[in-house]
Structure 1
Amino acid sequence: MLFKLSISNIRRSLRDYAIYFFTLMIGVSVFYVFNAISGQAAMMKLDESSYEIIDLLSTVLSGISIFVAGVLGLLIVYASRFLMKRRKREFALYMTLGMGKGSISRLLLIETGIIGLGSLAAGLLVGIGLSQLMSALVANLFEADMTAYKFTVSVKAITKTILYFGVMYFVVMIFNSIVVTKMKLIDLMQSGKRSEQIKLKNPIVCVVIFIISAIALGAAYYTVTAGYQDLSRAKFIGSIITGAVSTFFIFWSVSGMLLRTVMSMKGMYFRSLNSFTFRQISSKVNTMVMSMTMICLMLFVTICMLAAAFCIRNSLNKNIKELCPADYELQFYLNDHYPEHDVMKIVEEEGIDITEDFSEYVHFYTYMDESLTFEKILGEDAEEIKKSNSMIMFDHPEYIVKVSDYNDLMRLYGRDELELEKDSFIVTCNFKSTKEVRDRTLDKGDEINVFGRTLRSQYDDTVDGFISIGSTKTNEGIIVVPDDVITESSPLEMEYFIGNYLSDDKDTAEKTVNNKINELMKNQNFGACMFTSRQEVNRNSAGLGAIATFVGLYVGLVFLIASGAILALKELSESADSVGRYEMLRKIGADEKDLNRSLFRQTGIFFLIPLILAVLHSVFGMNFAVKTLEVFGAEDMGLSITVTSLILALIYGGYFLITFFSSKSIIKERK
């Protein structure tokens, strides 16, 4: 009997369950997709290092899944509250007809179970389909061979998804049972007759708080953007707290000012159904100040995480081609235990020939003049620049290289060589913030002293360039000087060996050279030695890009789903409570077209309010992100922001449309 009644209720209330089912289905599919990544990767031809990175990625995503499960669990409970509120009159009828609270609890248990199983099954089917697309993203990140790939289903991910969501549904069932036991018949019968009184806040207090909050928010924006160079950990945390608190009070003050402001505009307020529309909006915002704050902050985090994740991935892919133009690099940090300062000579003495594995190579040194520091380069501007650039190492000696060595390396890299005039120097740099500081100094034409020689800058700004291969723009400055400035007594700083493999089998060549270097280091007391290859740079970049992309997508999508669902459920709940008001408007002659227009405006403004402030936060947040991620060359975020906007429009906009049409259906039920 209860089962048949449950099926009947579900069929009759499909529109009420639409948002609930849609949210659960998306949640399940997202949960499955990100927990099935390791299973998808297992079907590809990856090297050992890539498998290690994917294992690390899977571990990170598993940890985040616990947080995601908590967010989705709270969302399911919130959704259940809406459904319970929506059906109060129905429960009153059951109790009037003699049904006990225990039977109502069992009825809800069956309904929740059916909806849960349905959404779980649908979500898993969607997730399995989407995971096949995710495998293409994994393959693209790791440059994997997908010839062995085939359609696969991750049993482990299915098990984890069922387990996590089973626990969530169990909590929801307990919650529903508790709510049913506390229900009173008189409250249920009068639930639709109570009219909420809108308490107008003092407009002067609201204006004052709004101004103070806006000023505080502006100060936080300034600290993380214009004041970035002087940003400390304490200031950063303070800015986050200030931004969150200011957001709350902006919503609090706007909820009090909105209706007052519109009421003062008599021509607009009394036009059509505007008075009804804005009173409805004011009522919703008044009761959701804290929720609006949380939604706004979640949308802000979503926008920034998605944009930053895509930006890191795109920048790393671009940088590999530009910043890693050679196959292999050896660096020796020279010290007193390595007096010969000639790795080629040591190699020859040991009988280990590393050059035979390279078709072309460059062997050179960089030098260091202890008296020539970055601070000395800056001259009279040093003190002013130090105040606003606390993170730069001003007392570190500058790196110096001979122009002939630099040009030999540029020929190997396939980049433009430098033509250096007599008694001149050129500074190469590709780290944006440091480049701006150096350009400011070079523009003044100050002279420098290098190993006793006075040199002037050949250009008014730095030249884009680098020495070491890598995937990030980290060259803060290398001074290129004429060869005759360097003498045999000039202090050495580092020794470099950079070349391209002779063999086309890059992996085998890398292992061969690494083995020789490791054997060489066992027999010689070198200073610190570092060696890297294009393959290693690619693997590390793929790993960082994968972690940034998947974590950003995972958390961003869940926050976006939560934000849209909470707003949708609140709007549907308000529509259910306002059915009588719409019925009264019809009785006094309101046109159905005007009612639908009013509902559309209510829903649109309700969804736009937190989004507008979140976008404003994101403008400054992304400005901060660009400065933080400049090492990746993240100046151009246009593509990342475009992709993020499309995802936002698809999911958030989807919730808006579903909410509007579901609300439209609800207010028509007593027509």
Structure 2
Amino acid sequence: MLAKLALRNVRRSARDYLVYFFTLTIGVAVFYAFNTIAVQADFLKSDVREMVKAIYGIITGLTVFLAVITGFLMVYANNFLMRHRKKEMGLYQVLGMPRSMVARTITLETLFVAIAALAIGFAIGALLSQVLLFVTAALFASKVEEFKFFFSIPAFLTTFICFAVIFFIMMLFNLRSLRKVQLVELMSAQKQSEKTHVKSLFFSSVLFAIGAVCVGVAYWRLIKLGFPGFGGSGTQVDFLITTVLVSLGTLVLFYGLAGALTALARRSKKYYFSGLHSFSVREVSSQINTNAISMGFVSLILFLAITSVTTGMSITNALQAAQRIALPYSASILAYGGPKDRAADLAAAPERLKAAGYDLSKLGKVSTMVLRLPQNWDAQGFQAPSLTLGDFCKTANMKLPLGYENADVTRASLEVISLNEYNEQRNMMNMQPVALAPDEYLVTSNMEVVNPIYAAAVKNGHTIDVAGTKLKPSSLGAISDNSANLMNFSVASNAGTLVVPNELIDNFVPRKLVINVAYASTTDADIAKNDAVLKQISNLDGQALSQAIYNTPEYSSNGVLVLSRTEMIAQGFGLRGVVTYLALYIGFVLIVICAAILAIQRLSATSESAARFRILNDLGASEKDMLNSLKFQTSLSFIAPLLVGLAHSVCAMSVLMEIIRVLGGVNIATNSFLIVGIFIVVYGSYLALTYGMSRHMILDATHAKRHSL
């Protein structure tokens, strides 16, 4: 009998609170689908398979984190549903059902909900994971090989355990709520409103001011101190203090703001007694405590969702833009830490590779340069006056970019190449050579954040000192065109390189050898063949590679890198795929959870106020005014947390964008459109669905016969 009663209650609850069951089901489906990434990797090409599998550990840890948030918010939402059903539970006891039997009924209902959500969720998740496989392949620039339907047991167990714990905690809270409340309270639950503790306009204003000050101080601290470990001057403790301030400030802000607005409305007779404003204020007042707390928490979760998606997509855009700049050649061979007195030997490395059986000229155009630093560049405490980024900043009267405070180019000398080497590079790119007077220099850079500094410093006539010779900037100014890309790298890597006259280059010692290759043929087959030749070079044993590069077997090959464009593009796709995958996972789950919580909260409040809407109807209130009041309450419950979350995100993103800009160009407009699109589809859909269901509940209540109430 209990099972039959519980099943009937579940069916009725599912019909009345479709949002709740829908969200739980989608949660199971999304958790399962994203956790199948380890199985998805088996269907992808071998070159990205291990990279995709490596994400599984991150996804698992992230799933646990999201499950904790999901559990907290779902339990919180469940309390609203239980509060709505207090009268029903009271009726069971009045009709003679022992409280223990009511508790068992609630337990069975929770179990049925869990079974239904898990069964439907896993079914949808199994289908969704098949689609996600092709999305994963696209993100990692791979293809699906020998596709067949799959089901992941590890993903199933991870999702099942997370949601089993959530449902178990929900069941405990339900039983606790039932044991704690008295029968008379159960029977009068629908007539009771939340007690409004904040009635004083002055006290509410003080709370609002305190919350606003806390949030403002947190904003100021974040902008001033930044993120620890990412160029910020603050410590982990400073960041923790900032986090606590913005969290507590948000909660106090909502609590104080809601009370202040309510008290202010009651003191404004012109507003309070027009239309149904008095009723709307009464409804807001009755929910003020719960609404304030929930709005505060939801706004913080929305802040996390918005920031994670925006930051993740900005990073992928920056990496993609940087890759277009950072890979101008078919391949680059980099040799670090060569002997200081063997510049000529380093420059002759292509000839030695040819003698060893690797003729790079057969692959296409080849250019060689040796990047140098002043004498004693590695001596402790050595400084290079006028040759550092910091000195260029002083001449330009500009601040260092975020994160450059402790960079080598800020305190130590910029690397230097000769005019001949630079022109050889330009010739390889089919660009016209440049000329320098004996007392001139050029500065090149391909990094967006430092290009304006060099341009301003050159415009202001920044001079450099080379072994007692003063050099002035060339009339060509600071160069940031394609010739500033000195080598292949995953991101723009030329933070500043000086070009000096040939006769002065001997005043510097070799620091790094760069051999760039531009393949003559661009067909896929020839590119693969040429990449294989370079792969053979990188696989040479240490002695042979050191002999070919450094002209001595004494130096290890640990400092030699062979970076082909094909390999770097594949790695770039992989990194962007990981970031995009995680950002979408976090953002989608958190937005759905927050929207669902707000929807359930609003539906519960509407259900409790249905009888009061009926009384308004009996008193002659128009249907239009009642629906406008409902629309105002519903919109406020969704929009207020969103606005605060957006404000937090704008502050955080203003700091994060400066960090991300180091990687390359950031198209914030694209990210903004993406965020707006997500909220229109997800958040807006929940808002519309909530209002539609609330409207239906109110109209049913006002149109029903009196004896049915």
Q: Give the structure-1-normalised TM-score.
A: 0.90
Query: After alignment, is 583-592 or 335-344 more displaced?
Result: 335-344
Of 577, 584, 598, the match for 2:615 = 584
Task: Give, in angstroms, the shift of residue 344 of structure 1.
Answer: 6.3
Provide, for residues 423-479 of structure 1, a one-character-per-residue CA deviation record: whole Å limited to 9, x for no partner. Answer: 332222233333343333223113222344322222555524331312323322111
The equivalent residue for 1:471 is 490
The equivalent residue for 2:369 is 364
Task: Give, in angstroms, the shift of residue 609 of structure 1.
Answer: 0.7
Provide, for residues 351-406 of structure 1, a one-character-per-residue CA deviation record: whole Å limited to 9, x for no partner. Answer: 52333473232111112235343167438659984799734543201111123322
Does residue 525 of the first structure (1) align with residue 525 of the second (2)? no
Query: After alignment, is 619-628 or 376-385 more displaced?
Result: 376-385
- What is the distance in 1 between the residues matched to 2:611 and 2:242? 46
1:525 alignment partner, SS class: coil
Tell me if structure 2 keeps the 8 A contact 1:444–1:460: no
Tell me if structure 1 keeps the 8 A contact 2:396–2:453: no
Tell me if structure 2 keeps the 8 A contact 1:442–1:459: no
Task: Give, in angstroms, the shift of residue 150 of structure 1.
Answer: 4.0
- What is the distance in 1 between the residues matched to 2:207 and 2:89? 43
- What is the distance in 1 between the residues matched to 2:153 and 2:195? 53
Of 633, 658, 669, the match for 2:689 = 658
The residue type paired with residue 575 of structure 1 is T
Change (3 A) 1:440 1:46: same
5 Å matches for 1:121-160? 121-160=119-158
Task: Give, in angstroms, the shift of residue 338 of structure 1.
Answer: 7.0
Tell me if structure 2 keeps the 8 A contact 1:44–1:149: no
Tell me if structure 1 keeps the 8 A contact 2:196–2:288: no
The equivalent residue for 1:276 is 279
Task: Give, in angstroms, the shift of residue 653 of structure 1.
Answer: 1.8
The equivalent residue for 1:354 is 358
2:498 alignment partner, SS class: strand
Change (3 A) 1:476 1:59: same
2:357 alignment partner, SS class: coil
Task: Give, in angstroms, the shift of residue 138 of structure 1.
Answer: 1.6
Does residue 193 of the first structure (1) align with residue 187 of the second (2)? no
- What is the distance in 2 between the residues matched to 1:163 and 1:215? 42
Task: Give, in angstroms, the shift of residue 605 of structure 1.
Answer: 0.8
Task: Give, in angstroms, the shift of residue 615 of structure 1.
Answer: 1.1
Does residue 80 of the first structure (1) align with residue 109 of the second (2)? no
Task: Give, in angstroms, the shift of residue 265 of structure 1.
Answer: 4.3
2:106 alignment partner, SS class: helix
Does residue 626 of the first structure (1) align with residue 657 of the second (2)? yes
Task: Give, in angstroms, the shift of residue 582 of structure 1.
Answer: 1.6
The residue type paired with residue 107 of structure 1 is T
Provide, for residues 52-89 of structure 1, a one-character-per-residue CA deviation record: whole Å limited to 9, x for no partner. Answer: 21121011101111222222222332233222211111
1:495 alignment partner, SS class: strand
Provide, for residues 484-515 of structure 1, a one-character-per-residue CA deviation record: whole Å limited to 9, x for no partner. Answer: 3323x532222111214574315533432221
Change (3 A) 1:364 1:175: same
Provide, for residues 276-313 of structure 1, a one-character-per-residue CA deviation record: whole Å limited to 9, x for no partner. Answer: 21332344343333332221111111111111112222
The equivalent residue for 1:497 is 515
- What is the distance in 2 between the residues matched to 1:437 and 1:5? 74
Change (3 A) 1:129 1:518: farther
Task: Give, in angstroms, the shift of residue 205 of structure 1.
Answer: 4.2
Change (3 A) 1:536 1:549: same
Provide, for residues 503-548 of structure 1, a one-character-per-residue CA deviation record: whole Å limited to 9, x for no partner. Answer: 4315533432221375624762237613133233234323322222
RMSD over aligned Cα atoms:
3.0
Tell me if structure 2 keeps the 8 A contact 1:141–1:542: yes
The equivalent residue for 1:374 is 388
1:38 alignment partner, SS class: helix
- What is the distance in 2 between the residues matched to 1:95 and 1:472? 69
Change (3 A) 1:406 1:233: farther
Tell me if structure 2 keeps the 8 A contact 1:474–1:631: no
1:612 alignment partner, SS class: helix
- What is the distance in 2 between the residues matched to 1:324 and 1:63? 34
Tell me if structure 2 keeps the 8 A contact 1:431–1:631: yes
2:263 alignment partner, SS class: helix
Change (3 A) 1:154 1:579: same
Change (3 A) 1:379 1:196: closer
Of 307, 310, 333, the match for 1:330 = 333
The residue type paired with residue 650 of structure 1 is V
1:494 alignment partner, SS class: strand
Task: Give, in angstroms, the shift of residue 21 of structure 1.
Answer: 0.4
Of 254, 258, 262, the match for 1:255 = 258
The equivalent residue for 2:235 is 233
- What is the distance in 2 between the residues matched to 1:83 and 1:248? 23
2:488 alignment partner, SS class: coil
1:232 alignment partner, SS class: coil
The residue type paired with residue 434 of structure 2 is E
- What is the distance in 1 between the residues matched to 2:97 and 2:207? 51
Does residue 449 of the first structure (1) align with residue 465 of the second (2)? yes
Q: Give the structure-2-normalised TM-score.
A: 0.86
- What is the distance in 1 between the residues matched to 2:326 and 2:430? 11
- What is the distance in 1 between the residues matched to 2:359 and 2:221? 52
Does residue 318 of the first structure (1) align with residue 342 of the second (2)? no
Task: Give, in angstroms, the shift of residue 643 of structure 1.
Answer: 1.4
- What is the distance in 1 between the residues matched to 2:461 and 2:347? 39
Tell me if structure 2 keeps the 8 A contact 1:334–1:494: yes
2:662 alignment partner, SS class: helix
The equivalent residue for 2:380 is none
The equivalent residue for 2:379 is none
Query: After alignment, is 564-573 or 227-236 more displaced?
Result: 227-236
Provide, for residues 137-181 of structure 1, a one-character-per-residue CA deviation record: whole Å limited to 9, x for no partner. Answer: 321222212353344333432343233323332333343334334
- What is the distance in 2 between the residues matched to 1:24 and 1:364? 60
Query: After alignment, is 587-596 or 175-184 more displaced?
Result: 175-184
The residue type paired with residue 517 of structure 2 is G
Tell me if structure 1 keeps the 8 A contact 2:211–2:256: no
1:149 alignment partner, SS class: coil
The residue type paired with residue 528 of structure 2 is D
Tell me if structure 1 keeps the 8 A contact 2:546–2:555: no
Change (3 A) 1:240 1:2: closer
The equivalent residue for 1:430 is 446
- What is the distance in 2 between the residues matched to 1:604 and 1:348? 73
Tell me if structure 2 keeps the 8 A contact 1:255–1:285: yes
- What is the distance in 2 between the residues matched to 1:240 and 1:171? 28
1:498 alignment partner, SS class: strand
The residue type paired with residue 427 of structure 1 is V
2:287 alignment partner, SS class: helix
Change (3 A) 1:558 1:51: same
- What is the distance in 2 between the residues matched to 1:593 and 1:156? 53
The residue type paired with residue 372 of structure 2 is Y
Query: After alignment, is 340-349 or 425-434 more displaced?
Result: 340-349
- What is the distance in 2 between the residues matched to 1:362 and 1:490? 20
The equivalent residue for 1:558 is 589
Task: Give, in angstroms, the shift of residue 634 of structure 1.
Answer: 4.1
Change (3 A) 1:152 1:466: same
Tell me if structure 2 keeps the 8 A contact 1:354–1:516: no
Of 569, 572, 583, the match for 2:600 = 569
Task: Give, in angstroms, the shift of residue 637 of structure 1.
Answer: 1.8
1:491 alignment partner, SS class: strand
Tell me if structure 1 keeps the 8 A contact 2:396–2:456: no
- What is the distance in 2 between the residues matched to 1:430 and 1:39? 40
Can you give the 5+ residue segments of structure 1 that lack an aligned partner in the other structure? none
Query: After alignment, is 11-20 or 226-235 more displaced?
Result: 226-235
- What is the distance in 2 between the residues matched to 1:98 and 1:404? 99
The residue type paired with residue 661 of structure 1 is G
1:288 alignment partner, SS class: helix
